[in-house]
Every structure is written in structure tokens, then in C-alpha cells.
Chain A
Amino acid sequence: MSKVMRTVKNVTKGYSNTQVKVRNATSNDPWGPTGTEMSEIAQMTFDTGGRSTDFFEIMDMLDKRLNDKGKNWRHVLKALKVLDYCLHEGSEHVVVWAKDNIYIIKTLREFQYIDEEGKDQGINVRISAKELTSLLLDEERLRNERKDRKSWKSRVHGIDQ
């Protein structure tokens, strides 16, 4: 059902293919984002010049997802995951963007959401935000992980891998 609604929304709101890709990868579905989705998005962040606006569209959409409300904690969590992936496999622009806007991620370290059953769904967001913050503050580690992909793959893998 949610998938149908998302497809309708994608059409009525006139989202571009790039935006649709990010929206799908960071949806409220209890699965994903897949490694394939993240890898595709990361590749698209290299398009920044000329007529292509992929990079900006991706970052805008991730930004929206990161600032979503508690009920949509999966949006936030998955956006952190996609961002983490793009920081490793995406263009250098992603690194610059994330460093410039680190307060968006830092302030998620206290993200809160308790669901109707009293379950603390915010915890995964808090943990991911903490990890991403310390990665962004550690220039050397980030450089190394961008060079050597194996070292971080175990942490940021999609469920189809």
C-alpha cells in the first residue's frame, strides 16, 4: 500500500528520476536501502556540472529525509545510511556538503521517537548519527576509508549483499 502511495506521490509531485531513487531508498518500508540503490545514488553524486543537477537533487532529498519527524524515523535512519555510503563511494562534494552541514547530523544524536507500543525507535538513529559525526570529525579516518573500501563495507552494506 505504501509503495502504491509513494508511486502516486512521485507522479503528482513531479519528482525527477533522481529524486524518486532517493525517496525509494529512504522510504518507510521495513527493508532497504539495498546496496544496489545506494551504489547507484553514490554514482550519481558525481554529476554536478553542466545541465545535470543530480548532486543537488540528491542532497536536497536526503536533507528533507534527515529532518523528517519522529514517526518517520525510518526516513531519517535510511537517509543517514545513504549519506554514509555516499561519503565513502560518492563524489568529494558529498564530503564537503556533510562537513558544512554537520550540525544536521550532530543534532540527531539525541533523536527521540517512542512508538505506540512503547518501543524506542530512536535508538538506531542516535547510534548512526553518533557514528557519522565521529567519522566526519576524523579527517584521516574518512580519507582512509574513502581509499580502502573494504574496511567500511561491513558497516554500511545493503541487505541484498
Chain B
Amino acid sequence: GTSRNVDMSRSESDLAINIKKATNIEETAPKRKHVRSCIVYTWDHKSSQSFWQGMKVQPVLADEVQTFKSLITIHKVLQEGHPVTIKEAQSNIGWIESLSRGVIGDGARGYGPLIREYIYFLRAKLQFHKHHTEFNGLFEYEEYVSLKTTNDPNEGYETISDLMTLQDQIDSFQKLVFSHFRHGLNNECRISSLVPLVQESYGIYKFITSMLRAMHTTTGDDEALSPLRNRYEGQHHRLVRFYYECSNLRYLTSLITIPKLPADPPNLLSEDGEAPALPRRPVQPEPEPTPP
């Protein structure tokens, strides 16, 4: 085979150490190398069960920083881990929700509202993926397997609308993060939660743009699509603002490239302009996922 040569006997205990270090008590970003190891683990083993088990034995409720860091870690593993991670996460929603029990009110260091909003967002994200299994955790454009929903306008309308709801949730969460920066601190831990939000919002944006374009082409019904168009334009302006604010955070710009959107939303009725192009149709269709 061409898979990696992994020492399976060691990887389980290594995973436990990586989870522990990614979610430690220090008020910093979860260290990328430890988060990466968790992600790589799910690909090597095509399973995330040990990741969830490893998370559950950590004392993440004992400290609000630890709780917040574990939510960031979970979000990153959902985004970049093996696709089975999102499926297996569905049965861990209850546990994720229980993470709000660790902090009362604002919490000593102000993470209370952020933790509750993060849990609310992750639950919405998992709900979305449960109904739309064709999307991966990062809504990655180049990996999208089909635009099949645009062939069925009703289904396409619903998918776009659900994507927009998720985009709105990212927007309210990022606003909350910005409003909880503490003066005089470097805010690294809070800022690091913006990394997956920037990536996810851009993936969703690119999808919505190309799906809406495809819908306009296939249905030719500009009138029926106008509510979605209006909503799209509002979201475009909010995203421009979000990315602009992110571009002023040096810690963030050193880690990821902040997308640059045109000031005005692209014209969805034409193929030109600065919007991302339509993804190519797949050469071979992916096999249908088997129902759980």
C-alpha cells in the first residue's frame, strides 16, 4: 500500500499527550503541532474515537481557558480531520454541550460568554453537516465533489439558505470574540479562535458564490432568487469588515492569509468579475456515503 508507515503501538499514547498539551492551562493558542498531531491521527486511523475519548479524560471543565482551548482544538479537528470525524462527532454533541457547565457567568477571565457561543456554533455546524453530508469540515472548494444540489432548485435553495445561516452564526461569534479582547493583554488565546472562523467563513463564502451563480444559470429565475441575493450582499459586506478587522491583528496575519474580498459583492448574474470561478465538475462521482 501507499499509506504511511505508522507505529500503531505508540500512536495511542502519543495522542493522549498531544491532547493534553493542546488543551493545557496556559492562556495561549492551542499549540499547532499538538493540534496537527490530533488531526493526523484521525487520518492515519480513519477514526476519531480515540480523540474523543482522550478529550473526555482531560480535566477541561476545571478551568475556563482549558475549556476554550479544547473547543478550538475540537473545531480544528472537525475541520481538518478525516471525514469520519464529523460523523462520529454527532454522538458527542451532548458532551460538547456539557462543557458550558465549567464556567459560571462571565468567568474570572471572561471566557464564559465565548465558551457558550462556541458551543452554540459547533452544535449548529454539526447539525448542518448531518443534513449536508457532501460538505467537508472546511467547505473546501477544490475538494467539493459535486454541485448536484443546483440540479434540483428546491434543494439548492435550501442548501444555500442553510449555509447562510451558518455564516450568520460565524459572524455573531466573531463579533463576540472581538468584543471580548482585554486591553493590555496580547489576547492570543482569544485571537486563535478566529483562525478556524476565517477559514470556514471563506470556504462557505466561495461555495455560496458559486452555487448562487449556478442557480441563476440553471433556473434563469432572478426574481425567485432575489431574497438569497439580498442576503448574500449583506453577508458580503459583513465579511469584508470581519476580514479587515482580522488584517489588523498581527498575530493572526502571521499565521494565515486573510482573504481579500472586493469592496462590493460580485455580480452573480455574470461569469466575469473578481468572484471565485465555478468549481469544475468531478471527473468521477464519489460513491454515495452509506447511511449510518
Residues on A close to B: CB < 8 A? 56, 59-60, 63, 67, 69-70, 93, 96-97, 100-101, 103-104, 106-108, 110-112, 120, 123, 134, 137-138
Cβ contact within 8 Å between B143 and A137: yes
> Do A60 and B80 touch across chains, with their CB atoms under 8 A apart?
no
Is B255 in contact with A107, judged by CB distance below 8 angstroms? Answer: no
The answer to whether B36 and A100 have CB atoms under 8 Å apart is: no
Interface membership of B254, Cβ < 8 A: yes
Interchain CB contact under 8 A, B4 and A112: no
Select the residue from B2, B40, B254 with max chain A CB neighbours within 10 A: B2
The answer to whether B255 and A96 touch across the interface, beta carbons within 8 angstroms, is no
Q: Inter-chain contact count A-B, CB under 8 Å?
A: 46
Contacts of B36 in A (CB 8 A): 107-108, 110
B78 to chain A, nearest CB (A): 14
Chain B 252-270 interface mask (CB, 8 Å, partner A; 1/0): 0011100000000000000
Contact A106 B255 (CB under 8 A): no
Complex: A112 Cα to B35 Cα, angstroms: 12
Pairwise interchain contact B80-A106, C-beta atoms closer than 8 A: yes
Additional 20 contacts, C-beta under 8 A, given A56-B5, A96-B2: A59-B5, A60-B5, A63-B4, A97-B2, A101-B2, A101-B43, A103-B80, A103-B82, A104-B4, A104-B40, A107-B80, A108-B36, A110-B36, A110-B255, A110-B256, A111-B32, A112-B32, A112-B33, A120-B254, A134-B142
B: interface residue count bin: 10 to 19
Provided the pairs A110-B256, A112-B32, A112-B33 are in contact, do residues A103 and B5 lie with their beta carbons within 8 angstroms?
no
Query: What residues on B are CB-neighbors of A107 within 8 Å?
Result: 36, 39-40, 80
- Given known pairs A70-B33, A107-B40, A107-B80, the reply for A112 and B255 (CB within 8 Å) is yes
Q: Is the CB of B5 within 8 A of A100?
A: no
- Return chain B residues, CB-CB under 8 Å to A134: 142
Please give the distance in Å from A157's CB to the nearest CB on chain B: 25
- Which A residues are in CB contact (< 8 Å) with B256? 110
Query: Can you list 21 pairs linking A and B with CB atoms under 8 Å apart?
Result: A56-B5, A59-B5, A60-B5, A70-B33, A93-B2, A101-B2, A103-B39, A103-B40, A103-B82, A104-B40, A107-B39, A110-B36, A110-B195, A110-B256, A111-B32, A112-B31, A112-B32, A112-B33, A123-B254, A137-B142, A137-B143
